[in-house]
Amino acid sequence: MRGPHNIWRLVRTGATFERTGAMGVILDAYEAPPMLRLGARILGWPFQFLGLKGDEAMPPVPRALTALGPAYIKFGQILSTRPDVVGPELALQLRVLQDKLPPFSQQAARNAVELELGQPLEQVYSEFSGPVAAASIAQVHHARLAENGADVAVKILRPGIERAFRRDVDAFYLAASLIEGLSPSSRRLRPSEVIKHFEGVVNAELDLRLEAASASEYASNTKDDPGFRLPAINWAYSTRRVMTMDWAEGLPLGDNDALDAAGLDRAALGERVLTLFLNHALRDGFFHGDMHQGNLKVSLDGDIIAYDFGIMGYIDEYTRRVYAEILFGFIKRDYQRVAEVHFEAGYVPHDRDVDEFARALRAVGEPIFGMDATRISMGRLLSYLFEVTERFGMETRTELILLQRTMVVVEGVSRSLNPNINIWEVAQPVVGDYIRKSIGPRALLRDLGRTAQVMARFGPRLPGLVERALSQQMAETPPSPRHSWRMRVLWGAGGLALGALIMALIESL
């Protein structure tokens, strides 16, 4: 669908941005060069009468995105997690973007359920309410299962949403290519890669089976976490466009008056939210990427209940260890070690000076540690850290940006429950425990054991792989006899040592 016909969509988009005042905000946030500003104005200013008016009570950018529809709203939400792309001020504006749209009809919801589940709605749900929440991609209904009377939430994709998103994403790709052509300096922000990331997130959310799978994995990881639970997925009544899960009954985590009236300890809840997030990010490497008050409830017995698993974050084990060492280094104010970790991980180019980098990190950490407990922020620390690492040539890492954004949100939730919470005191035992378990002699032995298992599986193929690699190298650059002799000795000694290590480790497992 990509092609010149998308120009009309861009003209309409530009006209709406111009009419709502969003165009100037975005160009200023990007510090756009003259050529890009001229191109944007050409697309917007002459045609602004074609633009949508939007809700005048909203800030300019959220106003324009809301007026343009679901794909633009979702794009704004995802950009709110990327301050590296849109800047911190615009990202903050986008976080208040209301993910609420008029619901689609009850008849359309009924038709979707019956088409997806292959039976009349009454045979599945004895009760089926009107929509209780309507967002850009789907809406939710409260229902009761006919077979056992269980209270459930039924999430249903908007009719035609897949086609609408495909159409708008095509226009986004065209806009990204135009931006890159008009402003070569914008290529460092990789507009096309941002659109690709957006497309991947949306494609995952347009298949509710994937969200159900995320919820299932998240529940498996956290089943033993005290004071935390998730609504269970009902797989029998979940498909690509319909998802059924237990109804989450509880008090909104953002309603402090209701929490106080129920006699719940808000300070303990604030600490638990932060501790849970850190455990999920470090221990599991799989965390809720949208952990704000709207997606959290508290049961009357004090359990925190999380739901809406459309945005989940994943961090591989190596990155988790690096992240933990960086956090722990800042907690201990060991800036030299934090700098060394960045270089060891390859985050900062090795041609930069590690001591100079350590001094820059000290300039980030010391002012924060000088604050009182109510102002200390791990999210602010990470934000400053990314600014420094960018100056030293560190490339953007999307998974860390989502982690940093979620950390800011979780801190906000914790502080809304207890304004006097000391973020570092809560974080230190969690990070320290992860460090002890993940970095040290036991972790080294565990890693070697895993390596041995992998090598054992591929053991029969190793001689052939080595022989082919050596044959290719010798064919490309024939070595001297002396060099060839040394290579044979090195490979032979290395092979014997590796074989001995593998055998010893396998016997010890």
482 burial type by CB count under 10 A (0-12 exposed, 13-18 middle, 19+ buried): exposed
Reported as a pLDDT band with limits 50, 70 and 90, residue 473 is: low
When pLDDT is averaged across residues 69-82 and rounded to a whole number, the result is: 75
Identity at 365, one-letter amino acid code: G
Query: According to the per-residue pLDDT averaged within each range, which of 17-21, 291-295, 337-341, 418-422 is highest?
Result: 337-341
Q: Give a yes or no: residue 447 inside a domain.
A: no
Query: Is 64 within the bounds of a domain?
Result: yes
**Is residue 355 domain-shared with residue 430, that is, in the same domain?**
yes
- List the structure tokens of 51: 């633009």
C-alpha torsion 101→113→124→249, nearest 10 = -20
Which of 101-105, 136-140, 240-244, 457-461 has maximum average pLDDT? 240-244
Instruction: Indicate the pLDDT class of residue 71, thresholds 50, 70 and 90.
Output: confident
Of all residues in the chain, what percent carry a pLDDT higher than 90? 28
pLDDT at 491: 46
- Is the pLDDT at 506 greater than 50? The verdict is no
Return the structure tokens found at 270. Answer: 């604030």
DSSP 8-state secondary structure symbol assigned to residue 82:
-
pLDDT higher than threshold 60 for residue 187: no
Check whether 223 has a pLDDT greater than 90.
yes
- Looking at residue 456, its pLDDT comes to 65
Across the range 238-249, mean pLDDT stands at: 95
Going by pLDDT thresholds of 50, 70 and 90, the confidence category of residue 373 is low
Angle at the Cα of 79 from the Cα atoms of 368 and 167, rounded to 5 degrees: 175
Judge whether 157 lies within some domain.
Answer: no
Report, as an integer, the average pLDDT of 330-336: 86
- Domain boundary residue, one of 413, 439, 465: 439
Residue 327 has pLDDT above 70, yes or no: yes
Lowest mean pLDDT among 119-128, 189-198, 327-336, 454-463: 454-463
- The DSSP annotation for 425-475 comes to HHHHHHHHHHHHHHSSHHHHHHHHHHHHHHHHHHGGGHHHHHHHHHHHHHH
- Could you tell me whether strands 138-145 and 125-134 are parallel, antiparallel, or unpaired per DSSP bridges? antiparallel
Model confidence, pTM: 0.72
Cα angle: 98, vertex 101, 105; to 5 degrees:
160
Q: CB-based contacts of 86: which residues, under 8 Å, 6+ apart?
A: 26, 29, 30, 79, 80, 94
**pLDDT computed for residue 496 by the predictor:** 41
Q: Is 334 labeled as catalytic in the residue annotation?
A: no
Structure tokens that stand for 54 in this block: 């939007």
Residue tagged active-site, from 84, 170, 225, 290: 290
The Cα–Cα gap between 340 and 363 comes to 16
Q: What is the rounded CA–CA span in Å between residue 179 and residue 163?
A: 25
Looking at the fold, whether 371 and 304 belong to one and the same domain comes out as yes
176 and 192 Cβ atoms separated by less than 8 Å: yes
Percentage of the chain modeled with pLDDT above 70: 73
Within a domain: 148 = no
Same domain, 459 and 359: no
Is the same domain home to 357 and 406?
yes
Using DSSP bridges, classify how beta strands 296-298 and 312-314 pair: parallel, antiparallel or unpaired: unpaired
Q: Let me know whether 276 and 350 are in one domain.
A: yes
Query: Alpha-carbon distance 311 to 308, whole Å?
Result: 8
On whether both 458 and 425 belong to a single domain, the answer is no
Q: Is residue 230 part of a domain?
A: no
pLDDT confidence of residue 124? 96
Residue 423: what residue type?
A: I
- Positive or negative torsion for Cα 454, 458, 460, 462: negative
Is residue 377 over pLDDT 80? no
Specify whether 421 is located in the same domain as 473: no
Boundary (domain end) residue, out of 439, 463, 497 = 439
pLDDT, residue 125, reads 97
The residue with greater pLDDT, 285 or 97, is 285
Residue 463 domain flag: yes
Task: Compute the half-sphere exposure of residue 80: CA atoms within 13 Å on the CB side of its CA.
Answer: 23
Least confident piece of the model among 8-17, 195-204, 438-447: 438-447
Q: Helix or strand or coil: residue 243?
A: strand
Tokens 């229902």 map to which residue? 143
Closest Cα to residue 435, out of 314, 325, 318, 279?
A: 325
Boundary residue ending a domain (170, 205, 240): 205
| Highest mean pLDDT: which range of 76-80, 213-217, 365-369 | 213-217
Distance CA 100, CA 98 (A): 5
- Cβ atoms of 159 and 9 closer than 8 Å: no
pLDDT at 189: 57
215 within some domain: no
Q: How many residues does the chain have?
A: 509
DSSP label of 233 = B
Site of tokens 């402003």:
183
Which two structure tokens, joined as six digits, stand for 424?
């570092």
Q: Which domain holds residue 503?
A: 454-508
Average the pLDDT over 16-29 and give the result. Answer: 81
**What is the pLDDT of the chain when averaged over all its residues?**
79
Least confident residue range of 117-121, 148-152, 187-191, 462-466: 187-191
The answer, yes or no, to whether residue 464 has pLDDT greater than 80, is: no
Backbone angles phi, psi at 151, to 5 degrees: -75, 130
DSSP string, 95-127: HT-----PPPPHHHHHHHHHHHHSS-HHHHEEE
CA pair distance 117, 297, nearest whole angstrom: 29
Distance CA 64, CA 72 (A): 9
Same domain, 201 and 260: no
Residues 360 and 430 in one domain: yes
pLDDT at 308 over 60: yes
Q: Is the dihedral of CA 83, 201, 77, 217 positive or negative?
A: negative
Q: What average pLDDT does this structure show over 335-359?
A: 88
- Express the helix, strand and coil content of the chain in percent, nearest 5 each: 65, 10, 25
pLDDT at residue 140 is higher than 90: yes
**Residue 130: per-residue pLDDT:** 94
Most confident segment among 47-51, 104-108, 331-335: 104-108
Confidence class for position 210, pLDDT limits 50, 70, 90: very high
Same domain, 421 and 391: yes
**Domain match, 326 and 253 both:** yes
Give how many domains the chain has, as a whole number. 3
> What's the distance, CA 97 to chain centroid?
17
Quick check: is 445 in a domain? no
Q: Give the model's pLDDT for residue 116.
A: 95
Highest mean pLDDT: which range of 59-63, 181-185, 206-210, 501-505: 206-210
In whole angstroms, how far apart are CA 381 and each of 377, 388, 419?
6, 11, 18
Residues 308 and 190 in one domain: no
What sign results for the dihedral spanned by CA atoms 298, 301, 303, 306?
negative
Of 201, 242, 189, the C-alpha closest to 74 is: 201
